[in-house]
Structure formats: C-alpha cells, structure tokens
Homo-oligomer: A and B are copies of this chain.
C-alpha cells in the first residue's frame, strides 16, 4: 500500500551525540533534538513557549558525521521517518518508544555549533572532507543506507528504553541513550 512516513526537524542538540560502534566498524549516533514553539496566548496576551524533545537515530556514514561535527547546541536540519520500538521494562511490562530514524542531515548556522575542537572562521559550516550530506545528491555513504534490513532491536530489560540498534546484531559498546 502506498505510504509516506516523513519527519522534518530543525532544532538544537540538547547534549553531545551518544555514539556506539559495532564490531564491523559501523556506527550509530543517538541525539536529542529540541524544537521550541513560541506563541502569544490569545486570552491573556502572554508570551508562551513549549519545547519538544525528539530522539533521533543516525546510522552508518551519517552517524560518523554526526559524531564528528555535531555537539551540544548544534543547530541541525533532519529528515527521517518515525519508528516506534517496543521493549519490556524491569517489571515485565511492554513499553513503547518513538524515535526518528534520520535519512538526511544538514548542519545549519555556521561553525558556532560544531564539534571537533576546531575554531575556524565563524559563519561557515561547510564540510571540506569530501563527503556530502545534501538531501538530493549526497553520496550513498552520507545518507542513510537506502534499503537496509530491518530486524527488530533486541530489547534489553531496563527501565529506560534500550538503545536503538536497528540493523545491527551486536553492540561493541552499549551506552544507553
């Protein structure tokens, strides 16, 4: 059946990416992204705001880029799809966590939000290392793998949802997100 499952976010990282590396060398990056709505209350005239936090998962080459260039505070554009994972908590109850699986990522807003220590000329945010995460013409490696397999994540008995490991069988380093 024809279907579309698409998420588009522009927001800021709440903290540095959580990286996990697989024995194969493949990486997964988990990131928390904040989006904030601001509006004026019709009745009271007050300025209001509400922040939404999103869990975003990056795979493969995209994860590497995230680990290398993003840090707490970075502003990013992310395009991906929703995935709700089922897991079992300590008490044996089924629980659900909704994540965004990223397909593309664009760094926004100059170097101020970039990781990697390098100062560099404020105002730029270009990658000069041969990769490209443009939505349309990016090399395969800079986008999510197009037709990855989709095994269920092995759920861990935890109170917090287990880290997403879609598409991989073993974790070298399982930092819960």
- Neighbouring B residues of A3 by C-beta, 8 Å: 9-12, 34-37, 106, 134
Contact pick for A137, options B7, B96, B147, CB 8 Å = B147
Counting CB contacts under 8 A, is A175 at the interface? no
In the assembled complex, A91 has its CB within 8 A of some CB on chain B? yes
For the complex formed, measure the closest distance between the CB of A167 and the CB atoms of chain B, giving whole angstroms. Answer: 11
> Are A147 and B36 touching (Cβ within 8 A)?
no
Interface size for A (C-beta < 8 A) is 70
28 A-B pairs with CB atoms under 8 Å apart are A1-B36, A1-B126, A2-B77, A2-B125, A4-B135, A5-B9, A5-B135, A6-B8, A7-B7, A37-B136, A39-B137, A39-B147, A40-B130, A40-B139, A40-B147, A41-B149, A48-B150, A54-B82, A84-B98, A89-B93, A96-B97, A110-B123, A112-B122, A137-B147, A137-B148, A137-B150, A139-B147, A143-B146
Find out whether the CB atom of A35 lies under 8 angstroms from the CB atom of B4: yes
A residues 96-116 near B (Cβ < 8 Å) are 96-98, 103, 106-110, 112-113
Knowing A7-B6, A10-B4, A82-B52, the reply to whether A38 touches B137 (Cβ < 8 A) is yes
> Which residues of A from 52 to 85 have beta carbons under 8 Å from B?
52-54, 75, 77, 79, 81-84
Residues of chain A at the chain B interface (Cβ within 8 Å): 1-12, 34-43, 47-48, 50, 52-54, 75, 77, 79, 81-84, 89, 91, 93, 95-98, 103, 106-110, 112-113, 122-126, 130, 132, 134-140, 143, 146-150
Alpha-carbon separation in the docked complex, A95 to B44 (Å):
31
